[in-house]
Chains A and B, each alone.
Chain A
């Protein structure tokens, strides 16, 4: 059934279709509609779930950890400061090997106070052990929540579904709402092998000496490697049932492109619009949309960028004193495999629009250069 809905409601519907059993959440703009709609759905009895209205994001994640440990499918959603407050427990959820799914609506970090989008909130949680999936449409958001449980429950690692504040969270698009029966077929109920069970009591997370700590960590890393296999497998499985395909990366006209624009989130849609315009002018430009941050799809990135003469990474984030974060990731993947020059542009922080002209200007600038003459370029900044 096709419906017009905002990105935030696409998350709520995704969680409902995934039959989540425990929701714990705390309000923060721009995430609020996710949990407002979910609380209505639960109160109306349309989803059989417990909804804990906690007093902080830290407690939201703590409750999800408790619920998931007890064997329930747990869900939460947050943004920016809320995600940062959870930081300690993001490590905990991953270290405890819990298949929790969370939506993060990308909002820039304060100060100064802001509610608009950029990716520094989620990207600074890169090393917590959470998978991260960046979406560009409301359909992808809904589908990704459902797929997230499938992958998370296979490898026992948590997943963050990430979308831009306002330009996706509050933007209405047509979304195909899948049939519950089909979702049930795709995503069966989950029986957590390591749940808290009074009939088979175990202790989880106890004090561990240097003799064993690394063994837990290597298993997490191997689970992430396996997650990459599962994500690629599920791209096919999901497509078979629902007719839509989501892989680790999403290429657009890259095959013969001399210059490839690497983007993520909604900036990718804008980049594609610009690619079409530039192609009409005869310029061989393509777009590679990064969808999965962790586990990082090294092989796919290398494969998609193998023909490029120049790579432009547009980062809606910044690692102060270094590069944009996607640029670091892409360069690291290419190192030793390719000599293609990588140009890094920082754009759209704190919700500033990235227009087609912004991207066209970036491409024009890069056209004049053989290789980068700066570590990174700030776009359209007042000085």
Chain B
């Protein structure tokens, strides 16, 4: 059998990710696509820990840890230095969680996107502040339990549409991806690597402790997120929307919700509300997918 992804690993075993961590898979695939000539900067996020404590690191590429809200600006600074030093070919990546992207890092993200700086901005999205103990973020979906949205007052606000916010900056390339479809992520990154300017990659990355799900269900959940239409995966290449994983017969959202303890308090009517929200959002995106 021919492998669908390169066998070379730039992420070593011995990292500190939890069992079934989606963010670990996201990084592993990303490194396969981008290769050795890549530099990363991380803000405070799960990956601050996953990488390993000083003096260890599981990455075989240079990594600069940075403050929570500073990912995009730091990546822009690294990129400017590499240009000034005649090393423009190196790929520069900001790699942040959803809190560092949707919330505290949004200003710097917008700044770098508006300037169209030639960097990758990755958001591995596990839909809450997981590293600090599962507090709600702007990426937490409607209905979810977190430690700051207890069951009695579960999250009543919809997930912030970060992809639309980035799209409003009209960046050259952006994509959503799921750790259940590594070949799709790989293909997008290989393509984007040759595009000059700002690239935004948003990867849904299930978190078993935070989602109260079984570690062995990570890939299943990441797949169901796509198949239910909760998290459609697509790219926006030069303004054109293309759905890269078609879902003609969408599964009911309940299939996805029922595998996660964070939704188990929801009543039937709540689930129906979520189904309706997902349908509306999906129809909106379908219109963009069908635009010529």
Which A residues are closer than 8 A to B by beta carbons? 21-22, 24, 48-50, 52-56, 58-60, 62-72, 74, 88-89, 92, 196-198, 201-209, 212
Contacts and interface: CB of A to CB of B under 8 A. Distances in A.
A89 B107 contact: no
21 contacts: A22-B81, A24-B73, A49-B84, A50-B84, A53-B115, A54-B76, A55-B107, A55-B114, A59-B72, A59-B76, A65-B70, A66-B78, A66-B81, A68-B77, A70-B85, A71-B85, A196-B62, A203-B65, A205-B65, A206-B52, A206-B53
Nearest to A208: B54
Given A55-B107, A196-B78, 5 more contacts: A50-B84, A65-B74, A196-B39, A197-B62, A198-B37
A64 B85 CA distance: 15
Given A62-B108, A66-B77, A198 B115 contact: no
Contacts of B63: 201-204, 206
B contacts with A: majority SS: mixed
Given A63-B73, A66-B74, A66-B76, A55 B108 contact: yes
B67 A203 contact: no
Given A55-B114, A203-B62, A205-B65, A24 B80 contact: yes
Interface of B: 36-39, 41, 48-49, 51-57, 59-67, 69-70, 72-85, 90, 107-108, 110-111, 114-115, 117
B77 A89 contact: no
B111 A201 contact: no
A257 to B, nearest CB: 47
A64 B64 CA distance: 13
Given A21-B85, A71-B85, A207-B53, A54 B73 contact: yes
B147 to A, nearest CB: 22
Nearest to B90: A198
A208 B74 contact: no
B73 A58 contact: yes
A55 B110 contact: yes
Nearest to B38: A198
Contacts of A56: 107-108, 111
B80 A22 contact: yes
Contacts of B56: 206
Given A48-B84, A196-B39, A206-B48, A62 B54 contact: no
Contacts of A70: 39, 77-78, 81-82, 85
A59 B108 CA distance: 6
Contact of B80 (A52, A55, A197, A206): A52
Nearest to A53: B115
A52 B77 contact: yes
A206 B66 contact: no
Nearest to B108: A59
Contacts of B76: 24, 52, 54, 59, 63, 66
Contacts of B70: 58-59, 62, 65, 89
A65 B67 CA distance: 11
